[in-house]
Structure 1
Amino acid sequence: MQSNRAGQRDGGRGDATPGTVARAIRILDVVAASELGLGISEIARRADISKSSAQRTAGELVAGGLLERDGTRYRLGMRLFVLGQRVPRRKDLRDAAAPFMADLREATGHSVHLAVLDDTFVIYLEVLRSPTAPPLPTRAGGRWPAHGTGIGKAILAFSSADVVDRIVAGGLPRLSERTITNPGLFTAELVRIRGRGVSFDLEESRPGVVCVASPVVGSDGEVVAGISVSGWHNRINLDEAAAAVRTAALGLSRQLTHH
């Protein structure tokens, strides 16, 4: 009876209604995907929960500093940033990668990214922007579909078959006219990446923007991240960038292996 009453309070969704923690995670995820923040009605729609539940949970997240409210819109709160800095995996990788990323930006003159795989997305742990960089939507803590990015493909090419199968089974939505959306072509591309050690995003994630990426391997020999440079398609020498990125990725991998 208690679960029925809870379901009625949350809009009559019964057993399908997510618990408090699950609702909070859904809300944080949908708000994180919006640069400008979201109103409560849009949060409820995207998180697939009732408006009353969204309102109540968002209020609790604001009180805890995990969300911030600006008028009728909600954005991620600073407490999330503080907590994120303390995640060991993120901090260790970012600290180890910092000098390699700085050298890579100096050598190429382009923006440098460090990212890890999270389900079907890549999460950017660090972004070093170049003054001449295109206006990319990427930012530290931001997410982007893995299949449509050079850094995501570099990680996937060296991931286990079940990880790749999950990505393909979830669909390969088009991000630009050049996104690889055919499963056969996508898996063939991953094979080529494994052979050469670098991945290219040739305007697949965003028109006019290209990227070169390479995988980073941890102490257990498994891929743990990817590192990349990106810039305007008419301002980047792909061969030179590929050599620089591969060198940085190998150097970072060696450091992680030794530690």
Structure 2
Amino acid sequence: MNTVLGKAMTVLSAFTADDHGVGFAELQRRTGLPKATLHRLLTELVEVRLLDRDDSRYRLGRQLFELGMRASVERGLIEVAIPFMEDLYERTHETVHLGVREGTEVVYVTKIGGHRQASSPSRVGGRMPLHCTAIGKALLAHAPDELRTEVLAGPLPRRTPRTITAPGLLANQLDSIVEDGVSFEFEEAAVGIVCVAAPVLDAADRPIAAISATGPITRFRPQTHATQVRAAAAGISATLARRSQIDSTQL
């Protein structure tokens, strides 16, 4: 990306969901940009509020959040999903996630968790590989055949001792997910964390998103909440379909 816009995107993309402030030297290491170029871009990004600067450290600015919330697809999805997520949280009292697929990764678009929520690796705006998360497997199971083939062709990075890295085993799980309507994760993305998820599908059974309930293995039994998670996903799907019909009649 040799254009100014491309270089600016390189800088913004260098921040991760876990960053609370990144110094100049670390940003140069992540971006590979010359010092003078990086300094000029950082100054301009701060001026337009896409970045905030605190002493010598930088973080993504509030303006980015505001722009992101204007994205029509995600905004509409979140507005519809929140009541179902809140209901699922009241039923499970565990962390509830909503995620969408981007390439071969899950992007977490929102989450609800109480005071005792599990310490999971997910962050709003964060990403995880499809193959090692319940949301990811729910999305992958209903994805186009080409994507499933791509993911199963590997590699399947191991994040914990229980991450599924055998393509045949993962393929069998994906087939079961399509049949059962729910997916499970047992300490595959983080040790001590278990999860159950279900896909939010459109009228053609294409995955729009997926919803999950996540908790610590010491107290959460995902199998006992499969019906509730499946119902929440179905409710989001039905509401989105109704909205789509109303919008089409108003055109």
Q: Same fold (TM over 0.5)?
A: yes
**CA deviation string 1:38-78 (max 9, x = no partner):** 22222222233333332222222111111111222211100
In 2: Cα distance, 1:146 partner to 1:104 partner: 23
3-state DSSP class of the match of 1:32? coil
**CA deviation string 1:132-155 (max 9, x = no partner):** 211224232222222221111111
Q: Contact between 1:32 and 1:76, CA under 8 Å: does it hold in 2? A: no
Q: Residue 220 and residue 67 in structure 1: after superposition, are their counterparts in 2 closer, same or farther (change >3 A)?
A: farther
3-state DSSP class of the match of 1:31? coil
3-state DSSP class of the match of 2:97? strand
Answering whether residue 148 of structure 2 is matched by residue 190 of structure 1, we say no
- Select 2:224's aligned residue among 224, 237, 240: 240
3-state DSSP class of the match of 1:132? coil
- Matched residue, 1:221: 205
- Matched residue, 1:30: 14
3-state DSSP class of the match of 1:176? coil
3-state DSSP class of the match of 1:139? coil
- Matched residue, 1:258: 242
- Select 1:73's aligned residue among 57, 65, 73: 57
- Select 1:152's aligned residue among 112, 136, 145: 136
Give the letter aligned to residue 98 of structure 2. L
Q: What is the root-mean-square deviation of aligned Cα atoms in Å?
A: 1.8
Superposition map of 1:1-259 within 5 A: 18-168=2-152, 171-259=155-243
Please report how far the alpha carbon of residue 238 of structure 1 lies from its aligned counterpart in structure 2 after TM superposition.
1.9
The percent of aligned pairs where both chains have the same amino acid is 40
3-state DSSP class of the match of 2:82? helix
TM-score by length of 2: 0.89
Please report how far the alpha carbon of residue 90 of structure 1 lies from its aligned counterpart in structure 2 after TM superposition.
1.0
- Matched residue, 1:7: none
In 2: Cα distance, 1:69 partner to 1:82 partner: 18
TM-score by length of 1: 0.86
Please report how far the alpha carbon of residue 219 of structure 1 lies from its aligned counterpart in structure 2 after TM superposition.
4.4
In 2: Cα distance, 1:27 partner to 1:90 partner: 23
Q: Residue 201 and residue 86 in structure 1: after superposition, are their counterparts in 2 closer, same or farther (change >3 A)?
A: same
3-state DSSP class of the match of 1:112? strand
Residues paired across the two proteins, number: 243
Q: Residue 181 and residue 51 in structure 1: after superposition, are their counterparts in 2 closer, same or farther (change >3 A)?
A: farther
Please report how far the alpha carbon of residue 220 of structure 1 lies from its aligned counterpart in structure 2 after TM superposition.
4.7
Please report how far the alpha carbon of residue 99 of structure 1 lies from its aligned counterpart in structure 2 after TM superposition.
0.9
Q: Residue 148 and residue 253 in structure 1: after superposition, are their counterparts in 2 closer, same or farther (change >3 A)?
A: same
Instruction: Specify every segment of 5 or more residues in structure 1 that has no aligned partner in the other structure, as ranges.
Output: 1-16
Q: Contact between 2:196 and 2:222, CA under 8 Å: does it hold in 1? A: yes
In 1: Cα distance, 2:167 partner to 2:37 partner: 38
Please report how far the alpha carbon of residue 208 of structure 1 lies from its aligned counterpart in structure 2 after TM superposition.
0.3
